[in-house]
Amino acid sequence: MSDDKLLNIGVCGVGTVGLAVIDIVNSQTAMLADRATCPVQLTHVGARREHVDHHYGDALVSRDVMDVARDPNVDVLVELIGGTTVAYDLIKLAIAEGKHVVTANKALIAEHGNELIALAETAGVQIRFEAAVAGGIPIIKVLRESLAANQITELAGIINGTGNFILTEMSTKGRAFDEVLAEAQALGYAEADPTFDIDGTDAAHKLVILSSLAFGIPLSIDAPVKQGINELTPADLEYAAALGYRVKHLGIARVSEAGVEMRVHPTLIPDNKQLASVDGVLNAVMVSGDAVGELVLVGPGAGGAATASSVCADVVDIARNMMGSGPALGVPATQLVAKPFIPAGDIASEWYVRLTAADRPGVMSDITHVLASHEISIESLVQKPPATGADEVPIILLTHLASESAMKVAMKEIMLLEEVHSEYALLRVEAFEH
């Protein structure tokens, strides 16, 4: 490290992900310093083209990305330029210069990872690539570290967001492939040349990386069997649905006595599997290990901020490894900050209420009147038919946001209504919509 108490990073490539990384490093300074156990500082930016509207704080800016790899002040080189030519030379140079490397480049790791990782291990530097597979989903770390005590037998993933978006649109709306592809391009999900998303090459690169981690085999770029999604018809998706299946473009890897199978293809999976309900641009990976059983991780597979989340996690890991081990609670115990806790009464939710009341006119009006007097508004209200011979009916209602205190006072008043039974249910509703 250039200084005992500081980690200097150089970022090469200032596209969506690069800019998001720079934004996190420059705006979350205190948080990253706590978690990395030392300050993380942007020292040098490699931007092959001039962007007059981008500011990189105090960092040096070079047009030649190799200058970042040669900069003696850079501890960690973050490669976000993509491709397998300049990026390859850049990372080789960075390793030769004794720098740690973080990259989001799946094609490069799948194709040249064996060489680059061996070089890094010989040089005693780290090379990390969490962002290379499934964007913000930490599947590399989970395989590499969390499942270290497992023999992994199988993994399967939706690891191309563009393809999953297209399939989701085709199957939920019956739209044709070409039409949805055009929309995906207009929305910026698919590249101008979407070949690698469509024919499975992108997913195959990711599967190669996952398989190496899962099975302890060298990165084997030619191993996956590939079939794209371009020949799927809405009719097939519909027939599959009628049979209880969803069609997903999966990367699948398995190991057995016979060897390793790696394949990327449209796959029918039963409706009730977690992977079946992963729609749109989301990614997901399922892993089976002999000890853990089956784990499924679901999250954003692309996007600048989500990918930058993984890139920066790699940077923090490198800092922690240099400083010893990371702190048990993420930050050192001395850096924990107490915050006030919100009392139950003040916590607002939507609410589910079940009441039992006499089946008489005016009851509903009385109940809604009480709620209104406490400014609790009703989202829906259902009066169930009475059981045969019964004089009482269940009433179910959902409210909009209200505090627990307001609900409890209102319920107390409702219980005083002559027509209402004293037994009721009051449950919180959470839609988790952000």
Instruction: Tell the smallest beta-carbon distance from residue 352 to its own copies (Å).
Output: 5
Distances (CA, A) of 134 to 118, 185, 202, 262, 312: 24, 19, 11, 17, 15
Nearer to its own copies, 62 or 288 (CB): 288
**What would the DSSP string read from start to end of 222-279?**
T--EE--STT--HHHHHHHHHTTEEEEEEEEEEEETTEEEEEEEEEEEETTSGGGG--
Whichever of 162 and 310 has its CB closer to its own copies, that residue is 310
Q: Which is nearer to its own copies, 188 or 340 (CB)?
A: 340
Q: Determine whether 206 is an active site residue.
A: yes
User: Catalytic residue among 5, 92, 141, 206, which?
Assistant: 206
Strand-strand pairing, 40-46 and 293-300:
unpaired
Nearer to its own copies, 66 or 298 (CB): 298
Which candidate, 317, 279, 273, places its Cα nearest to that of 300?
Answer: 279
Q: In this complex, which beta carbon is closest to its own copies, that of residue 125 or of residue 184?
A: 125
CB of 388 to its own copies, least distance (A): 16
Q: How many CA atoms lie within 13 A of 265 on its CB side?
A: 10
| Separation of alpha carbons 407 and 149, rounded Å | 49
Cα 400 to chain centroid distance, Å, stands at 29
Burial of 220 (0-12, 13-18, 19+ CB in 10 A): middle
To its own copies, the closest distance from the beta carbon of 116 in angstroms equals 9
Give the DSSP H/E element, type plus range, for residue 179.
Answer: helix 177-186
Q: Are 358 and 413 in contact (CB under 8 A)?
A: no
Give me the phi and psi of 342, to 5 degrees please.
Answer: -85, 125
**Nearest CB to its own copies, comparing residues 90 and 152:** 152
- Report the relative pairing of strands 392-399 and 76-79 from DSSP bridges: unpaired
Which H or E run contains 185?
helix 177-186
CA pair distance 428, 350, nearest whole angstrom: 6
Task: Provide, rounded to whole angstroms, the least separation between the CB of residue 62 and its own copies.
Answer: 24
From the CB of 26, what's the least distance to its own copies, in Å?
A: 12
- What is the nearest approach in angstroms of its own copies to the Cβ of residue 185? 22
**Which residues are known catalytic residues?**
206
